[in-house]
Structure 1
Amino acid sequence: MSERDRFRPVPQGRLSRLAALGQIAGGVASGMVAEGLGRLARGERPHLRDLLLTPSNAMKAADQLSRMRGAAMKLGQMISLEPGEFLPPELQAIFSQLRASAHFMPPSQLTACLSDAWGPDWRRHFDRFDMVPIAAASIGQVHRAVLTSGQAIAVKVQYPGVVRSIDSDIDNVAAFLRLSGLLPAGLDITPHLAEAKRQLREEADYLRDAEEMRRFGRLLADDTRFIVPSPVDTLLRPTVLPMDFVEGVPLERLAAASQAKRDAAVTAISDLALRELFVFAHMQTDPNFANYLWRPDDGRIVLLDFGAVRPVAPESADDYRRLLRASLTGRVEDVRGALIEMQYLSRAQVDRHGRLLVEMISIVVDLVQNAPDGLIDFGDHSPIARVRERALPVFADRALWALPSPDKMFLQRKITGLAFLALKLRVRLPLADMLRDYA
């Protein structure tokens, strides 16, 4: 996609956003018909879910969601970060574009947003303001600028209409998922949708984002592994967040770094997550790789986004500590019990798939207990493949799906995202030693 093609207005009205979702449904439906006819011509008997989850349909959905931005795109990002669970692995690469490739606002729409925030003479604050963003995501896009004082800053500008569209976007995407058959008919996701709406409203409040940035700046002031930018208070507005500009490269660039540098970076990020869960009682729950930068010169990690920070309920921290302790003791039945108590597993799943679940848990426990030199090698995907092989029939039995509390769902999203990062960067982590510090 050329840079010019990425400039598209954000649809703001409820009807225009509903029409955009309708285009997804229409495009997917036409793709299903074409795919189904092709399979019938080859003498195959196609199933509805197989026709729905094709690379062509995923590409159509991802492209339309990236044009919509807002809560609809955010939900797509959440799904895309589940490695191999909700989506087959061949579709992960396609949906991963949602994590960092939103379209840009055209200059006229951007200028209107900045005028609403700072007034029509907003340029008087700057020696330079780059109209082409350096990053674009689901809620807003980021621009580089230089204040008249000479200070280099990054300015996060929220897409117009984001807050107004949260409820309808989530309701419409949820309806699409139900109609598509991707969600079991009996699965009650009402409380999870309500919590998603609440959290997205908080993410769209840039005043709150700035306050959490200050909080983490204080918490990590003595930790030289991290850099937390500071907001520029004089220009801070509910929909515009200016902050220090900090040099760094995308986290994915770590893939070409040495083993030691990869290990150090992911160890730092993982340790921070454990401190957030068990010490700070505040966790930044969005694991999107674009929320981090890596500095090759000194190895420090720049933390960029604090919109998804949420307090950790004491009972959730206690449940995770119980699971952590059970994993460290190596008692498979205690791990299974903790997962049932946390509602990651249902008793019906244990009754029907008990042997497979015990095998899955045993693989993970053995990995933690018996890692050579105490280092778990995430570059070796064979244990994950063994777990996945056993998980597929359990996951396919969709009538028995269980959902933990909404609080744990958001915490687990961060944990799952970190595991995905460790796998992607092929790191080696002293995981057992790290967990013991918080047991």
Structure 2
Amino acid sequence: MHLPALAPILEGMSKSRNPPVGRLARLGKVAALSARGSAGLAVRALRKVAGSDTQETERSTIGHFVQVLGEMKGAAMKLGQALSMEVDALPPELRQLVARLQSEAPPIASEEIASIIEEELGAPPERLFAEFDPKPLAAASLGQVHAARLEDGREVVLKVQYPGIADALDSDFSNLSVVARAAGLTSKLFDGRDYVEELRREISLETDYLLEAERARAFHALLAPEGDLLAPEPIPERSSSRVLCLTRVRGQTLQRFIDSNPDAEARWRVSEQLIRAVHGPFFSAARIHADPHPGNFLVTEDGRLALLDFGCVKSFRPDFVEAIRAFMRSEVRGEAYEPLAGVRAAGFEVELDEAIARSLLAETVEIATRPLRTSCYDYARDTSVPDMRALGLRRTLDFLRIRPPAEAVMLGRAVGGCAQNLRALGARGDFRSVYARLLERMAPRVAQEARSQG
């Protein structure tokens, strides 16, 4: 299937509408989507038996999936963004369609955007900016982004929050909490309420654009010494709790960079930059950008990597960071390490026989640390994600008896997303040395942070 065949679906995604807000309305959308998906799978199976072409069924089902999640926005769309990063889940053409959820959701009307800007900043955009483009640069899960220019000539972007999106998020997580509560009543092993609440708390903070401005400022300072990494700077006088103004960074998204079929040298450069952008702030400042889908990275013409969207930034306890760092350091050095003691030091609850726990952790570590145990790793042939998924299915009950602290949910989201991006980039090289240099360079800063909070 080629892009021209997707045109009718992409055209349908261009309709502007506000996201539904109520719990029942959003639950109904998900239920209808699930029913449509199940019906599509049944039709596909029947056509396979009959020897018919199933591409049209796939295109229709996935196109509907993308359009509905794009219209819903909020946590539902974030789920779609996560699915778009699954390298093995779909053929390249269909994955490209789902990837539109990263920054190309159906935008809301420009008149509504102008009204929100005036309500938040006290004047319409044509009075606040020398130039303002009513056509969005991007439309994401919680807001859409417009290009503008300040009176002093600086290029900026304006991130404007969708109407009612905070209520939509609350509805999504209320529905999810009901499921988690029911599962917890069935068995303590399935009690995921702490993790749902962690997600609710962290993702709900994304609706506070003043907080996001502070986070953007902090990441700008953290990345500045790197030279080839950057983050935009907030413009406080043109920002509010629902409108965020940032200096503009020009470049192509990480997804478009990957789709452009870059050469091996470029793939390696961006992969190394990606590791430093995601893992560096974790080890140096006990915080991480926890929404690393490809739409949140830009590759600039001069070869730098820009990190965007600081709504979801998680801060961690220094002792949690140090436990992770000790594990990583032992792996890159090839030193002996006791994983069971390590997970306990990081705050994991282990309710397994120690011998069983050690065997499970040994299998997990073997899969997760493959790039750290060789001087030449090929991400184009990486199978760690499907291998980890298979291990999870094979030893589900054992995994359920090792419970990470709630804060580890956001670390897993960040690290897992980074790994998926590295797989999509498909670079080959000495990743172990990248992590080794990063860990050693950040060591003094971690120790100083721990002392300051001790």
TM-score strictly above 0.5: yes
The answer to whether the 8 Å contact 1:336/1:358 transfers is: no
Kindly indicate whether residue 292 of structure 2 is the aligned counterpart of residue 284 of structure 1.
Answer: no
Match of 1:421 in 2: 421
Structure 1 residues 184 and 421: CA distance shift in structure 2, 3 A: farther
Once the two structures are TM-superposed, the CA of residue 105 in structure 1 deviates from its matched residue by 0.5
Seen in structure 2, the aligned counterparts of structure 1 residues 233 and 354 have a Cα distance that, compared at 3 Å, is closer
Identity %: 26
For residues 263 and 44 of structure 2, the distance between their equivalents in structure 1, rounded to whole angstroms, comes to: 47
Q: 1:396 to 1:99 in 2, by over 3 A?
A: farther
Note if contact 2:195-2:406 (Cα within 8 Å) is conserved in structure 1.
Answer: yes
From the superposition, tell whether residues 291 and 394 of structure 1 become closer, same or farther in structure 2 (CA, over 3 Å).
Answer: closer
Deviation at 1:269, TM superposition (A): 2.1
Q: Check 1:196–1:265 CA distance in 2 against 1; reply closer, same or farther (3 A cut).
A: same
2:390 aligned residue: 392
**Post-superposition shift, 1:175?**
4.6
1:116, CA displacement in angstroms? Answer: 1.6
TM-score by length of structure 2 reads 0.78
Asked if the contact 1:75/1:170 (under 8 Å) is kept, the reply is no
- Once residues 399 and 367 of structure 2 are traced to their aligned partners in structure 1, the CA distance between those partners, rounded to angstroms, is 22
For 1:37 and 1:290, the matched residues in 2 are separated by 33
Distance, in Å, in 1 between the alignment partners of 2:82 and 2:348 is 18
Q: Which of 314, 330, 333 in structure 2 is aligned with 1:310?
A: 314
Residue number in structure 2 paired with 1:73: 77
List aligned pairs for 1:106-125, cutoff 5 A.
Answer: 106-119=109-122, 121-125=124-128
* Residue of structure 1 in register with 2:277 after alignment: 272
Change (3 A) 1:343 1:60: farther
Q: Which residue of 296, 304, 311 corresponds with 1:300?
A: 304
Q: Does the C-alpha gap of structure 1 residues 184 and 146 become closer, same or farther in structure 2, counting only changes over 3 Å?
A: farther
Among candidates 234, 243, 253, match of residue 240 of structure 1:
243
What is the CA–CA distance in structure 2 between the aligned matches of 1:223 and 1:205, rounded to whole Å? Answer: 28
Q: Within 2, Cα distance between the matches of 1:253 and 1:191?
A: 36
Relative to structure 1, the CA distance from residue 4 to residue 112 in structure 2 (aligned partners, 3 Å threshold; closer, same or farther) is farther
Question: Gaps spanning 5+ residues in structure 1: where?
Answer: 44-53
Judging changes above 3 Å, is the alpha-carbon distance between structure 1 residues 156 and 334 closer, same or farther for their aligned structure 2 residues? same
Q: Give the aligned partner of residue 6 of structure 2.
A: none
Larger CA deviation: 128-137 vs 219-228 = 219-228
- 1:366-396: CA deviation from partner (whole Å, max 9, x where unpaired): 6533x2xx23221223xx26x7357515425
Instruction: Tell me if 1:22 matches 2:28.
Output: yes
CA contact (8 A) 1:127 1:147 kept: yes
Amino acid at match of 2:266: K
Q: How do 1:355-366 residues align onto structure 2 when only pairs under 5 Å count?
A: 358=362, 361-362=365-366
Give the corresponding residue for 2:443.
none
Relative distance call for 1:148 and 1:38 in structure 2 (3 A) is closer
Task: Measure the CA separation in 1 of the matches of 2:17 and 2:43.
Answer: 36
Give the CA deviation at 1:42.
9.5
Do the aligned residues in 1 keep the contact of 2:377 with 2:429 (CA within 8 Å)? yes
Distance change >3 Å, CA 399–CA 429, structure 1 → 2: same
Distance 1:42 1:273 in 2: 43
Cross-structure match for 1:320: 324
The runs of 5 or more residues in structure 2 that have no matched partner are 1-8, 50-57, 441-454
1:46 alignment partner in structure 2: none
Name the structure 1 match of 2:234: 231
Tell me if the contact between 1:210 and 1:241 (Cα under 8 Å) persists in the aligned partners: yes
Q: Which letter does structure 2 place at the counterpart of 1:247?
A: R
Secondary structure at the aligned position of 1:155 is classed as strand
Name the amino acid aligned to 1:310.
K
Deviation of 1:79 after TM superposition, in Å, equals 5.4
Shift of 1:36: 5.2
* Partners of 1:356 and 1:390 within 8 A in 2: no
CA distances 1:84-141 after superposition (whole Å, capped 9, x unpaired):
6xxx567993654432332101123222222221235442122322111111110111
Closer/same/farther in 2, CA of residues 413 and 27 from structure 1, 3 Å limit: closer
What letter matches 1:111 in structure 2? A
Residue in structure 2 matched with residue 218 of structure 1 by the alignment: 221
For residue 149 of structure 2, give the secondary structure of its aligned residue in structure 1: strand
Contact 1:267 1:429 in 2 (8 A): no
SS in 2 for 1:293: strand
Evaluate the alpha carbon distance shift between residue 259 and residue 107 of structure 1 in structure 2; reply closer, same or farther with a 3 A threshold: same
1:149 aligns with 152
Q: Cα–Cα, structure 1 residues 410 and 197, in superposed 2: closer, same or farther, change >3 Å?
A: same
Q: CA deviation at 1:55?
A: 8.4
Amino acid in structure 2 at the alignment position of 1:308: C
- AA matched with 1:278: F
* 1:233-253 deviations in Å (ceiling 9; x for gaps): 221111111111222111134
| Equivalence for 2:408 | 408
1:409 alignment partner, SS class: helix
Deviations 1:239-281 (A, max 9, x none): 1111112221111343322222221122122123332111122
Aligned residue for 1:222, secondary structure, equals: helix
The 1:58/1:336 distance shift into structure 2, 3 A limit, reads farther
Offset of residue 174 of structure 1: 5.2
Q: 1:174 to 1:90 in 2, by over 3 A?
A: farther
Distance (Å, rounded) in 1 between the aligned partners of 2:397 and 2:303: 46
- In the alignment, structure 1 residue 376 sits paired with structure 2 residue 377: yes
Deviates more, 1:324-333 or 1:31-40: 31-40
**Alpha-carbon deviation of 1:155?**
0.7
- 1:149, 1:257 → 2: CA distance? 36
| AA of the residue aligned to 2:17 | P
